[in-house]
């Protein structure tokens, strides 16, 4: 799975991992009074994260990040660095990081994480059973940084490092951490941490004891951001609303807690990511993240460390184009974003408007593979985030728009009013499916999507014209035996539903036995086999239809998809899929 591979390179914050400063706490307009040192209000959403190798080099990259307008950083040392031997405390590294952050005008947020080596030699392994020693570590750390470090995330992606650990055990760890931290500093803020956007894991942890024992939530939506380059902006824009739906049901008192991205990014050369896609998607990640309500977004990572190719700076400290793109974004959105709303230019091109330090600014781009033209009613200034270069665009003159974001400064009051109106509307996925009875996909080249998308269709299947119609060969294409699909989050998201998935398919011309099962996101996590099990396609004399009936579907997009059709089983062979319909 993408996440499991990505975890090794991205989220494994290493043998020394994160801790630090945050002398401020105004998030989404809710002010928190801090301890002696901190009555600063900070609503700045721009941050970065690092792994262990780059954390140690903070003096090299912090000045660059400060110059780029970044105010927050996630880095530091783990329990093994703070208490290397039982009862022996070492805050030297941590204190130097705090001083480095202060010298560069940056706030640092921290982690409570991993085992001490004198408890478990496998320091990253979850769960944690030694609650007395853990509570003592949390208390000592939080007391030492009181008034300096006021945000702590509990563990780092516990699912990614679990050796039999469960969400229930994580829920208990959160509760123990919260109680110990609050005794040491009544103003400290404690956050839940999950990999990707594992909403079901959050839910289970909350039910198991974390309820009302956290102050913010941290997600790492690498996969979801990765789908933006394929045109799935609606999926990314659904993360915060989906989490809030879950909180409304399972912990209503926390429904409005701040939600942070403490890791997201792209590794150049992996999973199709390039310098170009990294440069485009860092702008989209921050712009759409702020638009949907993330209080803070921390790009992984500031400078190349263990994961070469992910940094805004190379190992030698040289800025990549993504660095310039981030610097441009912070400049025009500003440290206290005033999001106005979204618009569809030409009824298809995404646009997000902010009132920033330079006036009303529009961030806009076209769909993947498309070139469009946009005209404005009066003169605007156009900036290319990748280079920071600008030019004036006369009224009525066309702006060439591609999938690479552009910034238009000084857009009209009429366009701003339209954005303000659309802000409260469901964000569209080629249409508004919030009240639809069904969504569907008609396979072909390209697929015809109606609220249902296939993940990377051309990489996992082959579009064909067969038996007088369009379809896709979907079995064992280039080694793929599974095809993944995502339902428009406005159609169905989080709340458990009875869902029917109807597939129209037939065997290929060889007529060898063929079929598949449906795997899906359920109320208990990802299930690899739907009720009713395997469907054997009867033959190839006509198109056959079969309905998989799911009584416990809970679509949250953990892996950036909701269900799959999977032929990796006892019945293999070639088959074509013509159409899939999802009804609720």
Question: How far is Cα 138 from Cα 152, in angstroms, rounded to an integer?
Answer: 10
Question: How far is Cα 516 from Cα 259, in angstroms, rounded to an integer?
Answer: 38
Same domain, yes or no, for 450 and 376?
Answer: no
Of 335, 361, 379, which closes a domain? 335
Nearest to 374 by CA among 353, 351, 400: 400
174 falls within a domain = yes
Which residues, at least 6 apart from 461, have a Cβ–Cβ distance to it below 8 Å? 443, 454, 472, 473, 474, 477, 480, 483, 577
Of 311, 335, 359, which closes a domain? 335
Q: What is the CATH number of the domain that holds 363?
A: 2.60.40
Per-residue buried b or exposed e for 276-301, using 16+ beta carbons within 10 Å of the residue's own CB: ebbbbbbbbbbbbbbbbbbbbbbbbb
One digit per residue, the tens of pLDDT, for the chain of length 584 reads 233 333 333 443 443 333 333 323 333 333 232 223 333 347 899 999 998 788 888 999 999 999 999 999 997 779 999 999 999 999 999 999 999 999 999 999 999 999 999 998 888 888 888 999 999 999 999 999 998 989 999 999 998 877 778 999 999 999 999 999 999 999 999 999 999 999 999 999 999 999 999 999 999 999 999 989 888 899 999 999 999 999 999 999 999 999 999 999 999 998 889 999 999 999 999 999 999 999 999 999 999 987 689 999 999 999 999 999 999 999 999 999 999 999 999 999 999 999 999 999 999 999 999 999 999 999 999 999 999 999 999 999 999 999 999 999 999 999 999 999 999 998 987 788 988 999 999 999 999 999 999 998 998 999 999 999 999 998 878 778 889 999 998 888 777 789 999 999 999 888 888 999 999 999 888 898 888 899 999 999 999 999 999 999 999 888 889 999 998 755 566 899 999 999 98
Q: What is the CATH number of the domain that holds 485?
A: 2.60.120.260
Nearest to 388 by CA among 407, 365, 410: 407
> Containing H/E element for 364?
strand 359-365
Same domain, yes or no, for 367 and 317?
Answer: no
Same domain, yes or no, for 391 and 480?
Answer: no
Same domain, yes or no, for 16 and 158?
Answer: yes
Of 335, 360, 386, which closes a domain? 335
Nearest to 21 by CA among 140, 184, 147: 147
Which residues, at least 6 apart from 497, have a Cβ–Cβ distance to it below 8 Å? 553, 554, 555, 584
427 falls within a domain = no
Same domain, yes or no, for 476 and 328?
Answer: no
431 falls within a domain = no
Same domain, yes or no, for 323 and 217?
Answer: yes
Per-residue buried b or exposed e for 30-66, using 16+ beta carbons within 10 Å of the residue's own CB: eeeebeeebeeebbbbbbbbbbbbbbbbbeebbbbbb
Same domain, yes or no, for 453 and 473?
Answer: yes
Q: What is the CATH number of the domain that holds 10?
A: 3.20.20.80
Look at the chain and report how many structural domains it folds into: 3
Same domain, yes or no, for 363 and 320?
Answer: no
Same domain, yes or no, for 402 and 492?
Answer: no
Residues 139 and 184: beta-carbon distance below 8 Å = yes
430 falls within a domain = no
What domain range includes position 323? 2-335
State the maximum Cα–Cα separation within the chain, in Å, rounded to a whole number: 78
429 falls within a domain = no
Question: How far is Cα 224 from Cα 558, in angstroms, rounded to an integer?
Answer: 8
Helices and strands (H, E) in the chain, number of each type = 15, 31
494 falls within a domain = yes
Question: How far is Cα 266 from Cα 299, in angstroms, rounded to an integer?
Answer: 9
364 falls within a domain = yes
pTM: 0.89
146 falls within a domain = yes
Question: How far is Cα 160 from Cα 11, in angstroms, rounded to an integer?
Answer: 9
Same domain, yes or no, for 219 and 344?
Answer: no
Same domain, yes or no, for 527 and 384?
Answer: no
Same domain, yes or no, for 390 and 480?
Answer: no
> Containing H/E element for 390?
strand 390-393
């Amino acid at each position: 799975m993408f996440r499991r591979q990505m975890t090794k390179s991205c989220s494994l914050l290493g043998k020394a991992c994160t801790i630090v400063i945050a002398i401020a706490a105004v998030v989404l307009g809710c002010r928190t009074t801090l301890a002696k040192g901190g009555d600063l209000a900070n609503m700045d959403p721009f941050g970065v994260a690092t792994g262990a190798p780059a954390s140690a080099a903070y003096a090299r990259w912090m000045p660059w990040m400060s110059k780029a307008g970044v105010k927050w950083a996630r880095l530091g040392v783990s329990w093994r660095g703070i208490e290397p031997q039982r009862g022996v405390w070492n805050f030297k590294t941590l204190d130097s990081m705090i001083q480095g952050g202060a010298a560069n005008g940056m706030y640092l947020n921290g982690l409570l994480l991993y085992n001490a080596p004198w408890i478990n030699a496998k320091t990253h392994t979850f769960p944690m059973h030694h609650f007395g020693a853990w509570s003592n570590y949390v208390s000592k750390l939080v007391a030492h940084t009181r008034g300096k470090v006021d945000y702590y995330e509990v563990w780092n992606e516990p699912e990614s490092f679990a050796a039999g650990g469960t969400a229930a055990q994580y829920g208990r760890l959160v509760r123990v951490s919260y109680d110990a931290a609050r005794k040491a500093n009544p103003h400290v803020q404690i956050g839940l941490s999950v990999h990707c956007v594992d909403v079901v894991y959050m839910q289970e942890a909350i039910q198991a004891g974390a309820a009302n024992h956290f102050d913010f939530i941290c997600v790492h939506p690498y996969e979801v951001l990765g789908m933006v380059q394929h045109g799935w902006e609606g999926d990314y824009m659904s993360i915060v609303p989906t989490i809030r739906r879950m909180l409304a049901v399972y912990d209503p008192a926390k429904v409005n807690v701040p939600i942070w991205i403490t890791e997201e990014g792209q590794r150049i050369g992996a999973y199709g990511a390039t310098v170009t896609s990294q440069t485009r998607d860092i702008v989209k990640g921050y712009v759409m993240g702020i638009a949907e309500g993330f209080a803070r977004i921390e790009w992984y990572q500031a400078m190349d460390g263990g994961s070469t190719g992910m940094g805004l700076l190379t190992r030698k400290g040289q800025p990549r184009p993504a660095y310039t793109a981030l610097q441009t974004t912070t400049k025009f959105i500003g440290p206290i974003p005033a999001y106005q709303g979204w618009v569809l230019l030409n009824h298809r091109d995404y646009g997000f408007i902010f009132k920033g330090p330079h006036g009303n600014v529009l961030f806009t781009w076209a769909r993947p593979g498309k070139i469009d033209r946009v005209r404005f009613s009066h003169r605007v200034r156009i900036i290319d985030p990748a280079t920071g270069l600008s030019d004036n665009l006369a009224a009525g003159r066309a702006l060439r728009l591609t999938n690479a974001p552009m910034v238009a400064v000084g857009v009209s009051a009429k366009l701003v009013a339209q954005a303000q109106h659309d802000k409260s509307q469901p964000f569209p996925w080629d249409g508004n499916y919030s009240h639809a009875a069904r969504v569907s996909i008609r396979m072909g080249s390209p697929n015809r999507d109606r609220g249902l998308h296939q993940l990377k269709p051309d990489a996992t299947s082959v579009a064909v014209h067969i038996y007088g119609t369009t379809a896709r060969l979907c079995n064992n294409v280039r080694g793929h035996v599974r095809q993944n699909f995502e339902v428009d989050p406005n159609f169905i998201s989080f709340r458990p539903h009875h869902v029917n998935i109807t597939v129209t398919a037939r065997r290929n011309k060889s007529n060898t036995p063929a079929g598949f099962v449906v795997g899906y996101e359920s109320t208990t996590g990802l299930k690899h086999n739907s009720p009713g099990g395997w469907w054997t396609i009867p033959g190839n004399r006509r198109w056959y239809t079969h309905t998989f009936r799911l009584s416990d579907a809970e679509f949250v997009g953990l892996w950036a998809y909701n269900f799959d059709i999977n032929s990796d089983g006892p019945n293999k062979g070639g088959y074509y899929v013509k159409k899939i319909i999802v009804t609720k």
